[in-house]
Amino acid sequence: MTYRYRVATVFLLGFFIDCINIFMPTVALPTVTDAFAVGSAASAWVGNAYMLGLTLVIPLSTWLAGRWGARRVLAVSMLAFAVSAWGCGQAASFAALVSWRLAQGMAGGLLIPVGQALTFDLFQGPERARVSTLVMAVALLAPALAPSLGGLIVDRYSWPWVFHANLPLALLTALLAWAWIAKTPGNLQPRPDFKGLLLVSGALACLLLGLSLYGADHGPLVSLASLVAGVACALRYHRHYRRAGQGVIELALLGSVRLRVSMLVYHAIPGVFTGVNLLNIFYLQQVLHLSAQASGLYLVVYAAGACIAMLAAGRLYNRVGACRLLLLGMGLHSLGIALLVLVDSPMHSPLLIAAYGLMGVGGGMGANAAQTTALLDFSGERMQQASVLWNVNRQMAFSLGATWLLMLFNLWPAGTDVLRAYHLTFALAAVLGLLPALCLRALALEHPRHAR
Summarize pLDDT for 366-380 with one digit per residue, the tens: 888 887 788 778 776
- Of the spans 94-98, 245-249, 331-335, which averages the highest pLDDT? 331-335
**In whole angstroms, what separates CA 387 from the centre of its chain?**
15
- pLDDT-derived band at 334, boundaries 50, 70, 90: very high
Q: What is the mean pLDDT of residues 270-289?
A: 89
CA-nearest of 198, 269, 266 to 229 is: 198
Residue 46 near residue 25 (C-beta atoms within 8 A): yes
Higher-scoring residue by pLDDT: 116, 291: 291
Give counts: helices (H), strands (E), the chain. Answer: 19, 0
- Of the spans 194-198, 227-231, 422-426, which averages the highest pLDDT? 422-426
- pLDDT-derived band at 232, boundaries 50, 70, 90: very high
pLDDT tens digits for range 135-157: 766 766 776 677 778 888 888 88
Q: Is the pLDDT of residue 360 over 80?
A: yes
First to last CA, the chain: 45
Residue 81 near residue 170 (C-beta atoms within 8 A): yes
Q: How many Å apart are CA 146 and CA 281, to the nearest integer?
A: 14
CA dihedral sign, ordered 26, 400, 266, 14:
negative
For every residue of 236-251, DSSP letters joined together read HHHHHHHHHS--SS-G
In this prediction, residue 422 carries a pLDDT of 93
- pLDDT-derived band at 195, boundaries 50, 70, 90: confident
In this prediction, residue 374 carries a pLDDT of 82
Q: How many Å apart are CA 370 and CA 387, to the nearest integer?
A: 13
Residues in Cβ contact with 111 at an 8 Å cutoff, skipping those fewer than 6 apart: 11, 14, 15, 18, 61, 73, 74, 77, 78, 81, 173
- pLDDT-derived band at 270, boundaries 50, 70, 90: confident
Q: What is the mean pLDDT of residues 327-355?
A: 94
Residue 81 near residue 167 (C-beta atoms within 8 A): no
CA-nearest of 338, 333, 395 to 360 is: 333
Residue 82 near residue 170 (C-beta atoms within 8 A): yes
Whole-structure pTM value: 0.77
Q: Is the pLDDT of residue 414 over 80?
A: no
Average pLDDT, the chain: 83
Q: What is the mean pLDDT of residues 233-252?
A: 84
Length of the chain: 452
Higher-scoring residue by pLDDT: 384, 351: 351
In this prediction, residue 23 carries a pLDDT of 75
CA distances from 147 to 24, 129, 259, 342, 377 (A): 5, 28, 31, 23, 36
Higher-scoring residue by pLDDT: 365, 133: 365
pLDDT tens digits for range 338-348: 999 999 988 88
In this prediction, residue 119 carries a pLDDT of 79
Q: How many Å apart are CA 182 and CA 171, to the nearest integer?
A: 18
Q: What is the mean pLDDT of residues 104-119?
A: 81
Q: How many Å apart are CA 342 and CA 351, to the nearest integer?
A: 8
pLDDT tens digits for range 24-34: 887 888 888 88
Q: How many Å apart are CA 308 and CA 303, to the nearest integer?
A: 9
CA dihedral sign, ordered 169, 170, 174, 180:
positive
Q: What is the mean pLDDT of residues 219-234?
A: 84
In this prediction, residue 132 carries a pLDDT of 63
Q: Is the pLDDT of residue 381 over 80?
A: no
Higher-scoring residue by pLDDT: 67, 329: 329
